[in-house]
Chains A and B, each alone.
Chain A
Amino acid sequence: DIQMTQSPSTLSASVGDRVTITCRASQSISRWLAWYQQIPGKAPKLLIYKASTLEIGVPSRFSGSGSGTEFTLTINSLQPDDFATYYCQQYNGYSRTFGQGTKVEIK
C-alpha cells in the first residue's frame, strides 16, 4: 500500500499569509496527486489534480507542485474562506490513499 504523509497536521496563519502544506508518498506516484479542501459538515472539494492542475472555478491563489514522492500545496494571500482542512490523495491505477489532513486555523 502507498502511504501518504502530510505536514504539518495543524497550521496557524493570518489572513493575507502565504501557507504551504507538504504531502509525501511512500513510493513514487509520478504526478497522480490531488488536493482537497473540506469545511466541517461538507463533502471535500477538489482543488488541484495531477499535482498542479487547478480545478475549474478554484481561485488562482491555490497552486500545487511536485512529482514522484514529494508534493506541496501553496495558498497565496490566505482568505477567510480558506480556513479549513486540506487533504492530499494519491492514485496508482488500482488504489487510492488520502493523507491524514492539515487543518489551517486562524492565528
Chain B
Amino acid sequence: QVQLQQWGAGLLKTSETLSLTCAVYGGSFSGFYWSWVRQPPGKGLEWIGEINHSGSTNYNPSLKSRVTTSVDTSERRISLRLTSVTAADTGVYYCARAGRELSSFDYWGQGTLVTVSS
C-alpha cells in the first residue's frame, strides 16, 4: 500500500522560505510524477509543481519564480521550497502522486498547515 508522509515548519514569517518534505512508503518511486498542491483556508485547490525520480520538473507559471522541488531517490523523498512567503501563501500543503498514466492524483499526503504571519 502506498503511503505519503509529509512534514515541515508550520509557522513562518513574511519573506521567509517554506520548506516541506514528503516521504513515499510502498509502491514504486519511479514512473510517476510527485506533486505539491495547496489549499488556502476555505478555498480551492492549487497545483504548485511536480518532480519525477529523474529530477524532471514542471511548475505552475504563477509560482515558478519562487518554487523549487527536489528529489532524493535513495530516501524516496521529495521536497518543496517556496521563497519570499506572504500571508497569501497560508494554507494546507499536500504532496500527491500523479498516477493513472500521470494524469491524476491517486495518493495524497496527510497535509501540512502552513501559516505565514507578519
Question: What residues of chain A have their CB less than 8 Å away from a CB belonging to chain B?
Answer: 1, 32, 34, 36, 38, 43-44, 46, 49-50, 53, 55, 87, 89, 91, 94-101
Q: How large, as a class, is the contact surface on chain B?
A: 20 to 34
**Chain A-chain B contacts (Cβ-Cβ < 8 Å), number:** 63
* Extra inter-chain contacts (10) besides given A46-B104, A96-B47, A98-B37, CB under 8 Å: A1-B61, A36-B105, A43-B109, A49-B100, A49-B104, A53-B100, A55-B106, A87-B45, A89-B104, A94-B58
Option from A44, A96, A99 in Cβ contact (under 8 Å) with B108: A44
A100 to B, closest residue via Cβ:
B44
A32 to B35, CA, bound (A): 17
- The answer to whether B103 and A32 have CB atoms under 8 Å apart is yes
B102 within 8 A of A: yes
B91 within 8 A of A: no
- The answer to whether A98 and B105 have CB atoms under 8 Å apart is no
Q: Which residues of A are found within 8 Å of B100, using beta-carbon distances?
A: 34, 46, 49-50, 53, 55
Give chain A nearest CB distance to B109 CB in angstroms.
7
Q: Which residues of B are found within 8 Å of A36, using beta-carbon distances?
A: 45, 105
